[in-house]
Amino acid sequence: METATVSNETEYVPGAWRHEILRRRTFAIISHPDAGKTTLTEKLLFFAGAIDRAGSVRPKKQRKTATSDWMAMEQVRGISITSTVLQFEYEGRLLNLLDTPGHQDFSEDTYRTLTAVDCAVMVLDAAKGIEPQTLKLFEVCRLRRLPILTFVNKMDQPSLEPVELFDSIERVLRISACPVNWPVGLGADFRGVAELDSRRFIPYHRMGGYSSGEELALDSEEFVRDAGTGNARQLSEELELLGGVVASFDRERFLKGEQTPIFFGSALHDFGVEAFLNALVEHAPPPQARAGKQGPVDPLEAGFSAFVFKIQGNMDPNHRDNMAFLRICSGRFERDMQVYSARLGKKIRMTRMHRLFARERETLEEAFAGDVVGVVNPGMFTIGDTLSAEPGVEYGRIPSFPPEHFAVLRCLDMSRNKQFRKGIAQLAEEGVAQLYHDPEAARWEPILGAVGKLQFDVMQSRLLQEYGVTTTVDFLPYECACWPQGSAEALARVRWPSFGFGLVRDHQDRLVCLFRSRWDRDHFTPDYPDIVWSDMG
């Protein structure tokens, strides 16, 4: 694997740094599970030359991501739980691809990852169109005004009518859609795509994707013969129809997240992937200015700054340590650099910084704005921390999702209680679940809050694998948590319900109310208008 670092002997001038920063493209792929995110990731790596052979990084059936298979549960369940980082070069650009879990129970992890990218790729299953998780993730991208490129996958299989797909992207996602190519024939009769700009037909071969040099002009007889008369006629009708309603590609609107270019293809059959990769490197923006509390921080003008968007423990059994993932927002980061932690109010020496490629890690001498690096975290960093060369920079905190499921986790073997506590603390710090306790309880028992139930399975599985602790989960009948904020007097006046309600404390010792339903909460809280009831921890 080629490294992205530049020789340490280089005499750096700001111009060289600028070049390094400007060539970076940091993006994530979002999709509903099974739409083909993993397959597309793998094919992008393949076409960029980062892996020798698609499929080589994971065994079939066992794999669900090209990379993030370090947790046993991911392999058994076939879902991607953790996010990983892939860095690779293509056409002089340096791409940082942040993998995200597709399952909705891990939306919080995905959300945090989306705070660390400048662009997103949305993969749709051509037979299903916009699915619930796609919509949810898209809304997060919209909040961040992220530019999005869309890949409509599995065109080799029966699919929805392209006009219907196009229409639902515009209607459901409320974004202007701009097709870059258009399918010719569908399902078993899929013949290829017509490139709208060049007015060329790119044929698809069921057994072998596509070979360059086979393109045909849309107005040629060969095209009609290859595509079939019916398909050629339908294409011309659809293009005429689209001509009246489709906006042409507008890069400014794309960069503001108002327009998405759409590419039809088949990741599994290598069809349309290379063109998509070319468009990605051409259109995805370089590292963008990020809003700090003191105003926007320019990646090129400011000194080093970064924020922690993810903590991951025990990534590799050979390196049983805790890794903080940093997105570098401005400037250059170098080994042994002293950085200032805005939360701790002190400087920290960064001795071991890693470039992460799936399970592998490699010590880095330097990294630039746009990069995502891992630093070994001896309990010094938490999610949302800002680190900078000089004090005075602080990025906004990353909100956590309101939990919807609650349970008590019990350790079955009391002789492993110490490991149990250690594991719980570590996993809560990583954000696998939120941790509470009942201050009135006779003995300490962790109460967990999670966005999705699978998070409890992850917790149990990791406690067993990494800490040798067997646990049971007893679900609690609550549906929402609320953090009351007010003066001590106002809080003392509250008459807490005696039934269907829980009062616990979180890891920062803040009071948390657990309600059986949102209805209960919405009927209780208005009685105390001098208290702010926040559902974000």
Tokens 């390196």 map to which residue?
319
Task: Give the dihedral of Cα atoms 166, 168, 174, 177; nearest 10 deg.
Answer: -10
CB of residue 497 to ligand G4P, shortest distance in Å: 42
* Cβ–Cβ under 8 Å, residues 97 and 44: yes
103-131: b (≥16 Cβ within 10 Å) or e: bbbbbbbbbbbbbbbbbbbbbbbbeebbe
CB of residue 59 to ligand G4P, shortest distance in Å: 9
C-beta of 156 vs 506, nearer to ligand G4P: 156
Backbone angles phi, psi at 166, to 5 degrees: -60, -45
C-beta of 46 vs 340, nearer to ligand G4P: 46
CB of residue 104 to ligand G4P, shortest distance in Å: 12
Of 57, 101, 59, residue with least CA distance to 79: 101
* Cβ–Cβ under 8 Å, residues 496 and 466: no
CB of residue 301 to ligand G4P, shortest distance in Å: 38
C-beta of 101 vs 261, nearer to ligand G4P: 101
CB of residue 449 to ligand G4P, shortest distance in Å: 26
CB of residue 163 to ligand G4P, shortest distance in Å: 20
CB of residue 1 to ligand G4P, shortest distance in Å: 22
* Cβ–Cβ under 8 Å, residues 406 and 514: yes
Q: What angle do CA 523, 529, 531 make, to 5 degrees?
A: 100
Tokens 């949305």 map to which residue?
122
C-beta of 185 vs 313, nearer to ligand G4P: 185
CB of residue 265 to ligand G4P, shortest distance in Å: 7
C-beta of 25 vs 103, nearer to ligand G4P: 103
Tokens 């040798």 map to which residue?
468
Q: Which residues bind ligand G4P (CB under 6 A)?
A: 31, 33-39, 60-61, 64, 102, 153-154, 156-157, 266-269
Token readout for 316 is 């590799």
DSSP 129: B
CB of residue 169 to ligand G4P, shortest distance in Å: 18
C-beta of 69 vs 156, nearer to ligand G4P: 156
CB of residue 32 to ligand G4P, shortest distance in Å: 7
* Cβ–Cβ under 8 Å, residues 265 and 155: yes
C-beta of 38 vs 67, nearer to ligand G4P: 38
C-beta of 21 vs 186, nearer to ligand G4P: 186
C-beta of 100 vs 322, nearer to ligand G4P: 100
CB of residue 313 to ligand G4P, shortest distance in Å: 24
What distances in angstroms separate CA 259 from CA 142, 183, 247, 253, one per listed residue?
A: 11, 20, 9, 5
**Rounded Cα–Cα distance for residues 473 and 456 (Å):** 8
What distances in angstroms separate CA 267 from CA 34, 160, 355, 520, one per listed residue?
A: 12, 17, 27, 47
Beta bridge partners of 515: 480, 501
C-beta of 273 vs 428, nearer to ligand G4P: 273
Rounded CA Rg of the chain: 25
What distances in angstroms separate CA 407 from CA 135, 253, 276, 308, 484, one per listed residue?
A: 28, 45, 44, 28, 21
CB of residue 359 to ligand G4P, shortest distance in Å: 18
**Rounded Cα–Cα distance for residues 489 and 80 (Å):** 47
C-beta of 30 vs 451, nearer to ligand G4P: 30
234-265: b (≥16 Cβ within 10 Å) or e: bbeebbeeeeeebeebeeebbbebbbbbbbbb
C-beta of 132 vs 345, nearer to ligand G4P: 132
Segment (H or E) for 529? none
